[in-house]
Amino acid sequence: MPVPSLRPRRGLDPRAKILLVIGCSIVVMSPAGLRFVPFALLLAIGLALGERDWRRAASLPAAAGVMWVLGWWLPLWWPNALTAVVSLACVYLIRFVVAIGVGAHVIVTTSPTQLAAALRIWRIPRPFAVTLAVMLRFFPVVGAEANAVLDAMRLRGLVGAGGLLRHPVLSVERFTVPMIAASLRASEDLSASAILRGLGSRRKPTAMQPPRFATPDLVLVLVTATLTTAALTLPAPLS
Amino acid sequence: MSANPSTQGQAETGARPFSLRLSARDLLRVAIFAVIFIVATYVIGMLGIISPLVWLLIVPLQAIVGGVTVLLFLTRVRHAGMLTLFGVVVAMFYLVGGNTLLSSTGIVGLGLVAELILWAGRYRSKWAMIWAYTVFGLSFFTPFLPLLVDRTAYLASSNFTDMGKAYVHASDTLLSVPVISLLACIVLASSFLGGVFGSAILGKHFVRAGLA
């Protein structure tokens, strides 16, 4: 019987992922960024498929498709001021969909220790590196608390855009107060544990798996270069 | 919220108000509140997916939601640097999450100005906290900054000109400097309300629960 390998699958170098997402954000959000949107969307879908995250791989083209229909086709089918406003917002928001799609890959696939090791190699000052790594650790905790509060509100019929628009302040209070209180209580244990394990220590820690440029990063560089060339040379479908 | 909530915290951290030395616990506090701030505003912002028009209405509401988190965070700020660090990490996270470089730089700048206001109140004044958040709340306006700074380039895109006169007229009006400035004023007013609302919520819930 084959023994499963205990070595985890080596993914992309966290530094490559961070540079990729910042590069994508800058390019896609620039005034001429619509030209790059379809290619960055392909990249984001490819990254999701590479991680076998089928939900993200399906939701990204769905969200971009809705923005495309509302932004490019709706004002042609039904031209009036309202559809023009909706279209304008969608033309701007489609850039966010793509940039968030690439960013989601970094957030989902990078562990706090990998991020801390990458930031240490870049010599990012300790307060920023430690805080960012801890943030990555806390996101699932706070996200779970927020979902629990939303579930409880849903059971009581308190969730919905109608209720939020009718009683915005009350809705905000009902959501934020239990969410913050629960998150703070959950964070106390995590904080104590993190400090006991040496978080924030001034001694330089070592990484079990130091970030290294490997074959997946080379593939990423080649794919990104190909998509960038295609975006610059092929006719732009969105602009 | 107490206007002078300091002595316990000073004993707890041993920090002087104007020291820039951040302890591990300070860094954890900044990280926790930054995550709560991002998640709370993101959950409210997700409602904007229903329609882009709702998205525009949601932005002031996000500024109000952020007020509760930031005011609670500011009651735990004991010395200089924590609010600036909060602004920097939130900006860096937004940059990774799809924000523009201009917008993220704006958030860092707002964090610095808010820190100065807090410093002027010696990190203990309730009204300094509210005004500091009023300034920092403008971070919800920063995603619109590129439209203000590079409006001509955004409007030059050919799809704006292919869709008829009504479309071009609507886009010209909607992306005009007065409309975007009005949005900035609405976000500023909402941030102030968020600060006052956050302060009231602290007194009503968190002080009673021993969390502020």
Residue B10's contacts (CB-CB under 8 Å, 6 or more residues apart) are: B17, B78
**Chain A partners within 8 Å of B98 (Cβ):** 25, 29, 95-96, 98-100, 102-103
In 10 A of CB A225, how many CB atoms? 10
For the CA atoms of B67, A173, B45, B110, the dihedral, rounded to the nearest 10 degrees, stands at: 0
Cα A102 from Cα A47, distance rounded (Å): 8
Q: If you average pLDDT over every residue of chain B, what do you get?
A: 80
A-B contacts (CB, under 8 Å): 207
Q: How far does Cα A42 stand from its chain's mean position?
A: 16
Query: How far apart (Å, rounded) are the C-alpha atoms in residues B57 and B187?
Result: 10
Rounded Cα distance, B143 and B150, in Å: 13
Q: Do B23 and A75 touch (CB under 8 A)?
A: no
Model pLDDT, residue A54: 93
The pLDDT score that the predictor gives to residue B10 is: 46
Question: For residue B101, with 0-12 CB atoms within 10 Å meaning exposed, 13-18 middle and 19 or more buried, which class applies?
Answer: middle
Which residue in A68, A108, A150, A176 has the most chain B C-beta atoms within 10 A of its own C-beta, making it the best mutation to test that interface? Answer: A176
Q: Is B159 on the interface with A (CB under 8 A)?
A: yes
Element housing A229 (H / E): helix A215-233
Structure tokens that stand for B63 in this block? 């500024």
Query: pLDDT tens for residues B72-125?
Result: 999 988 788 899 999 999 998 888 777 778 889 999 999 999 999 999 988 889
pLDDT given at position A91: 83
Q: Where are the alpha helices (DSSP H) in A51-167?
A: 54-68, 74-77, 81-109, 112-121, 126-155, 161-166
Flag whether residue B95 sits within 8 Å of chain A, measured between CB atoms: yes
From A129-133, B15-19, B64-68, B146-150, the region with the lowest mean pLDDT: B15-19
Query: Is B167 near chain A, with CB under 8 Å?
Result: yes
Report CB contact under 8 Å: A79, B163: yes
In B, minimum Cα distance to A183 occurs at B36
CA dihedral B171, B177, B182, B186 (to 10 degrees): 90
Domain map (residue ranges) of chain A: 12-110+212-239, 112-208
pLDDT at A161: 65
CA distance B57 to A137: 32
User: Residue with structure tokens 């076998």?
Assistant: A52
What gap in Å lies between CA B79 and CA B51, rounded to an integer?
42
Q: In chain A, whose CA is at the least distance from the CA of B51?
A: A86
Alpha-carbon distance values, B180 to A51, A86, A92, B174, B184 (Å): 40, 16, 14, 8, 6
Identify which has the larger pLDDT, B98 or B6. B98
Predicted confidence (pLDDT) at residue B7 exceeds the cutoff of 60: no
Contacts of A191 in chain B (CB under 8 A): 25, 28, 32
Rounded to whole angstroms, the Cα distance separating A124 from B89 reads 12
Compute the nearest-CA separation of A5 from chain B (Å): 32
Picking from A79, A161, A194, the nearest residue to B164 by CB comes out as A79
Predicted confidence (pLDDT) per residue in A67-96, tens digit = 889 888 888 888 777 777 778 778 888 888
Assess contact for A103 and B105: CB atoms under 8 A: no
CA atoms in the 13 A half-sphere facing the CB of A110: 29
Within 8 A of A153 by CB-CB distance, chain B residues are none
Residues of B in Cβ contact (< 8 Å) with A239: 157-159
Q: Is the ipTM of this complex over 0.85?
A: no
Smallest CA–CA distance, residue B187 to chain A, in Å, is 15
Structure tokens that stand for B2 in this block: 């107490």
The phi-psi region of residue B20 (left if phi > 0; otherwise alpha if psi is between -120 and 50; otherwise beta) is alpha
Q: Does B210 touch chain A (CB under 8 A)?
A: no
Burial of A203 (0-12, 13-18, 19+ CB in 10 A): exposed
B212-to-B3, B83, B176 alpha-carbon distances in Å: 12, 17, 43
**Which pLDDT does position B13 carry in this prediction?**
46
Residues contacting A98, CB < 8 A, separation 6+: A24, A28, A37, A40, A41, A44, A60, A64, B98
Q: Are B197 and A179 within 8 A, CB to CB?
A: no
> pLDDT-derived band of residue B160, with 50, 70 and 90 as boundaries?
low
- pLDDT tens-digit readout, A192-201: 888 888 776 7
3-class secondary-structure state, position B66: helix
Instruction: Please judge whether A161 and B55 are an interchain contact, meaning their C-beta atoms are less than 8 angstroms apart.
Output: no
C-alpha triplet B99, B105, A130: angle, nearest 5°: 85
**pLDDT < 70 positions in chain A:** 1-10, 160-165, 200, 236-239
